[in-house]
Structure 1
């Protein structure tokens, strides 16, 4: 009963068939691909200092399309930059602005590891390949080109629309914090729509399963755990070697199982996705949705990388550093532990659980950065209605499902600042084929072109005068 009531309240199972939008201008497709190609081929990983270049390029595209220079701002911050571009409305709605979020930076990629050059857009018969092809230069290109398209079509919104593109989402989010808290026109917006989350799931055969709206995300927290030792000469080994002790710490974290957690939203998500997916995994999702105390179902979902994050807090070792010379016993050894914490659980509680799991009183914990705990953004009828129109123009009657992301996005800071935020990417693809942060990141060519009307439909619905 809880699951059915939740879905009905959110209005997620829209049944109306919406006619396909069609009529995508050829120029819009060409322009979006050109923007996509250009920004992908600028390496914007953390240490390059290149996000200002991408911000300036996008700003120039918007200004050339007729946006006033004073409404297109490249805002430097340390080694990065944000882009804040305002599409002025006529104010007839009396409503505050809508933010459109994305990030211009990417995770590092080594040429030697990839089968293709990571910072050159390449393709085969099925996919585009490049670092950032999905995360998040897909969203950046689609949103920027949509602003240009709407301007060329003479669209005048009834409220301001603001692009708010960050420059360091993949690292410290200093540009995100600046926009969310320090730039008045951004901080005073009514709500935000994030291109860096959400989107449609396809099964392995290409059949659409669901469209997922990101309404919450887990808390991102990273620790360095260090074990210290007096060390000594390598010709005189000792049992209390710092690297060996750290290895025990790492294995303890690998073997630790955090408690299963759930909310009405995550249970509703598993119910609907499981029913759409079918098969053994789908049946397991439905079992978990109706009985989250089902240990067998929870353990089965734990083995699925795409879904384990929706069932519990996760912590994983991501980096190691140890020793100072090949002929010396290590004086210290450090492991970096990245955790994605279920909403409502305190960061301090997770550290306490990790300390208990490793059972090493000499291990030093250092929490990196300032973790941000953000609330769930409850869905609202006008936003869901606009998303429904865009999604159902491609896949009529496909269910829309709210979910909690197991990763972190810029949205956490906007939610924390009191701005409801929903992730609503235009992408549809098989989640098992989504290699964001991994090798040979890709986007289906068909998915790229199918998404070209997504933002135009949504923005006309939410800010049109019709």
Structure 2
């Protein structure tokens, strides 16, 4: 090759490199702009601001070239969802992929925070704000990825659909609407959720695992009420509603639901145990090989981070009793929140609680609409795509499927027959994660390193890897 051609090739390579760097910088700026804008809008349930955020995101997508027909803000009561379709060429002959997130956040009392909860602030390490993790991190990353891919001229081999709910943190009415009342979403082959999964870092900042959420426990809340004729406080009687309720509460506290497992949870404990080591890690491995090991199960029961993966749990979370300081209580009520192992009916848990309480006068009222969702068995193509995204940052890192003790929008999509996996893009130390808590935060490094996560997964899954 002549020196002139070599020089020309070098110039073209340099130009391509500079262009790619500029495109990456443009994507980073847009992702942060979207992130900051939506974090600084209070979208807790009483504020009515999810339509505002949905409209802002819709305008950003339309400005990037998406048609107005493909970007919809759908109201539901005081909330709203965003449905945005990235049209594919249909060459795969396959159904769409849903990409999930939620626009709302839990309340934040500014007086309790060290920083203003609805202003994005930062120090040398973290961004701080309510929703900085849950789930505006995922919403911003997904929206910016759609904009990035459109500007790059990318055409997927099937449709991709953003489905952002408006009240995941409260009633999930918008989620049920999307999962059950929108035919275009019900036709999806599967869904990927930005509000679950992700990587764990140790105290040194080293990546130790990446977890894919494949199941969730069923959420159910009961009120248990004991009633009594009451009377004057100067004339105490042997039967007292508060004392009787206390017996109910102590019986629930003492009860142990049976140990349960699936192939997924046993694999999870084996992997986490081998990674963790020490006495607790060895216990996990013993449990993985023999879930009938009562000593191992009891040891895991004492670990709040892991007990939910071994059994159904029920805990008293609120109390309400009496009507006057100088009157005997006429009623006493305890709120009991349960996280039920997949495959177990809420009605069976109520029956078990009734037997445990052993009080025929105790009234049980189910407060929640129960959604019982199955385990989503992991697919090879999804695992391969997520592995490529994860290993682009942390080569050879172990990927582990798990069951979440909490609840996300995914339960409704799984319940509707759409396999769903949580494959969030964030890596951080779980001990430093304050979602729903004070001074919620995200490492700045974690935000920057997540910028390519969704584009890698999307390209891999749509034949353009």
Q: What are the ranges of 5 or more consecutive residues in structure 1 without an aligned counterpart?
A: 1-20
Residues 411 and 429 of structure 1, relative CA distance in 2, 3 Å threshold:
same
Which of structures 1 and 2 has the bigger CA Rg? Answer: 2
Please list, as runs of the form range in 1=range in 2, the aligned pairs for 1:187-226 lying within 5 A after superposition.
187-226=186-225
CA contact (8 A) 1:98 1:189 kept: yes
In structure 2, distance between residues paired with 1:262 and 1:115:
41
Instruction: Give 1:27 deviation, angstroms.
Output: 1.9
Q: Which residue of 1 aligns with 2:128?
A: 129
Q: Which residue of 2 aligns with 1:345?
A: 344
In structure 2, distance between residues paired with 1:441 and 1:259:
35
Q: Which residue of 1 aligns with 2:239?
A: 240
CA contact (8 A) 1:55 1:81 kept: yes
In structure 2, distance between residues paired with 1:318 and 1:29:
42
Instruction: Give 1:119 deviation, angstroms.
Output: 2.1
Instruction: Give 1:307 deviation, angstroms.
Output: 1.4
Instruction: Give 1:314 deviation, angstroms.
Output: 1.0
- Number of aligned residue pairs: 446
Q: Which residue of 1 aligns with 2:13?
A: none
Q: Which residue of 1 aligns with 2:388?
A: 389
In structure 1, distance between residues paired with 2:54 and 2:324:
43
In structure 1, distance between residues paired with 2:23 and 2:225:
56
In structure 1, distance between residues paired with 2:38 and 2:303:
33
Q: Deviations over 1:233-279 (max 9, x none)?
A: 33433343323322332232223221111111100011111112222
Q: Which residue of 2 aligns with 1:322?
A: 321
Q: Which residue of 1 aligns with 2:284?
A: 285
Please list, as runs of the form range in 1=range in 2, the aligned pairs for 1:291-306 lying within 5 A after superposition.
291-306=290-305
Q: 249-258 or 366-375, which moves further after superposition?
A: 249-258
TM (norm. structure 1) is: 0.92
Give RMSD over aligned pairs.
Answer: 1.8
Residues 432 and 304 of structure 1, relative CA distance in 2, 3 Å threshold:
farther
Instruction: Give 1:109 deviation, angstroms.
Output: 2.1
CA contact (8 A) 1:306 1:432 kept: no
Q: 300-309 or 189-198, which moves further after superposition?
A: 300-309
Q: Which residue of 1 aligns with 2:33?
A: 34
TM (norm. structure 2) is: 0.92
Q: 435-444 or 75-84, which moves further after superposition?
A: 435-444
Residues 313 and 393 of structure 1, relative CA distance in 2, 3 Å threshold:
same
Q: 2:242 matched to 1:262? A: no
Instruction: Give 1:78 deviation, angstroms.
Output: 1.2
Please list, as runs of the form range in 1=range in 2, the aligned pairs for 1:54-453 lying within 5 A after superposition.
54-453=53-452
Residues 189 and 223 of structure 1, relative CA distance in 2, 3 Å threshold:
same
In structure 2, distance between residues paired with 1:228 and 1:117:
44
Q: Which residue of 1 aligns with 2:11?
A: none
Residues 40 and 326 of structure 1, relative CA distance in 2, 3 Å threshold:
farther
Residues 22 and 196 of structure 1, relative CA distance in 2, 3 Å threshold:
farther
Instruction: Give 1:94 deviation, angstroms.
Output: 1.0
Q: Secondary structure at the match of 2:349?
A: helix
